[in-house]
Amino acid sequence: MITDTILAALHYLSIILLVVFLAGEAVLCKPEYINAATVRRLSIYDALYFAFAMAALATGLARAFWGAKGFAFYSGNIFFWLKVATFVLIGLMSSPPTLAFARWRKRLKLDASALPAADEVLRARRWVLREAHVLVLLPIFAVLMARGFGL
């Protein structure tokens, strides 16, 4: 029982922090905010977003295997698999902005005045916002799964 409680708390904390850093990216990734410090901050936020996404994945899988309900409960539930697929989709969607932030940071190391163009920033921002919009499906699938729908 205590294991399930600890795993749940760590899972929720990871998810909250994942959302915090994704929101931070969405706020900062605007042409009018872009400067050298913002590019560095976006790279840091993106790394933290990735770290907490991996923590959410790890704690979610730990809950599925070692939590109170056990893997048999989850593996037969369509909403579990939809949640996993959505998480993978979000991970794939995070590649374009991650690559853009890394490219911008590399350019700035070579030339301190080489800021990304407004259209590049907007393109990365659109990907971040798409991730955020798809992310809202995860708690919906989680609630349906936890309540036994989809069995």
In a domain, residue 92? The reply is: yes
53-106 pLDDT tens trace = 999 999 999 999 998 888 988 889 999 999 999 999 999 999 999 999 999 999
pLDDT of residue 100: 98
Cα 81 from Cα 150, distance rounded (Å):
10
State the total domains in the chain.
Answer: 1
Is residue 60 assigned to a domain?
yes
Domain holding 21, by residue range, is 2-146
Length reported for the chain? 151
Average confidence (pLDDT) over 99-124: 95
Give me 130's structure tokens: 């798409």
What's the confidence (pLDDT) of residue 89?
97
Residue labelled with tokens 């409960």: 73
The alpha carbon dihedral of 64, 95, 46, 22 has a sign of: negative
- In 70-116, where does DSSP find H-type helix? 71-75, 78-93, 95-110
- 34: amino acid identity, one letter: I
Residue 1 has pLDDT above 80, yes or no: no
Tokens 């749940």 -> residue: 8
**Does residue 20 contact residue 3 with C-beta atoms inside 8 Å?**
no
pLDDT digits (tens, 9 = 90+) for 22-63: 999 999 999 999 999 999 999 999 999 999 999 999 999 999
Residue 115 has pLDDT above 90, yes or no: yes
CA distances for 150 relative to 62, 74, 75, 92, angstroms: 21, 10, 11, 25
The 8 Å CB, 24+ separation contacts for 99-104 are 100/124, 101/39, 101/42, 101/43, 101/46, 102/43, 104/39, 104/42, 104/43
Give dist(CA 139, CA 28) in Å, integer.
25
pTM: 0.92
Please check whether residue 121 lies inside any domain of the structure: yes
Instruction: Provide the token pair at 106.
Output: 């590399």
In a domain, 151, yes or no: no
83 within some domain? yes
